[in-house]
Amino acid sequence: PTNVDGGVFSLTQSGGNPDTSTITLTSAPFTIPAINYTSSAGGFESATYDGQGGDAGLTVMGTTGDDAITHTAGGANDAGALAVNSLLALSYKNLGASGTLMVAGNGGTDTLAVDGSANNDAFTVDATTGTVHMNNRTPIDQTGIANLVLNGYNPNNTFTLNAPLPY
């Protein structure tokens, strides 16, 4: 979504029976016929994806321009939030023990910032792929990302960067 009062939200299910649901967001009520739902009037203030512990895969795509994409860790190892620029952030939870998380740059010169916690965090970045691991959380895979920023918010964090890196 481009702001709280408008944009397009598209969800594609690729497993089982593939299906795509697209919702055009406005400040007016909108309807989702597949689930017989009509919203109340007002903006779109939050979005959360719940993988229901089913080893879900989630991909967040940037725009076609230069993007600052920020990942913030959540309370569980398979939870967090991803924000693209100042667009509406997508929170996620319950991806499952084998769930996957992908950030796709989609054009431009994109930067992925991974925010640590207030605790002692161990960041590891894989050679060649640039996959980011933080503690025992769901790894963050990437494609089309030009720059990586790892933000450790505790003086006892560790950072392991394995060359060659794609950034």
Better pLDDT: 126 or 17 = 126
pLDDT at 8: 59
Residues 6+ apart with CB under 8 A from 140: 71, 101, 102, 103, 112, 114, 131, 132, 133
Residue 94 has pLDDT above 60, yes or no: yes
pLDDT at 47: 79
Residue 5 has pLDDT above 60, yes or no: no
pLDDT at 1: 47
Residue of 148, 79, 139 whose CA lies nearest to 113: 148
Mean pLDDT of the chain: 85
Tens of pLDDT along 18-67? 555 565 656 666 677 777 777 766 656 677 888 888 888 888 989 899 99
Helix (H) or strand (E) holding 11: strand 7-13
Q: How does residue 135 score in pLDDT terms, banded at 50, 70 and 90?
A: very high
pTM of the model: 0.80
Beta strands (DSSP E) in 29-79 are 31-32, 37-38, 47-50, 57-61, 68-73
Instruction: Indicate the DSSP class of residue 58.
Output: E
Task: Look at strands 111-115 and 68-73 and give their pairing.
Answer: parallel
Task: Look at strands 31-32 and 37-38 and give their pairing.
Answer: antiparallel
Taking phi over 0 as left and psi of -120 to 50 as alpha, with beta for the rest, 51 belongs to: alpha
Better pLDDT: 49 or 141 = 141
Q: How does residue 90 score in pLDDT terms, banded at 50, 70 and 90?
A: confident
Residue 113 has pLDDT above 60, yes or no: yes
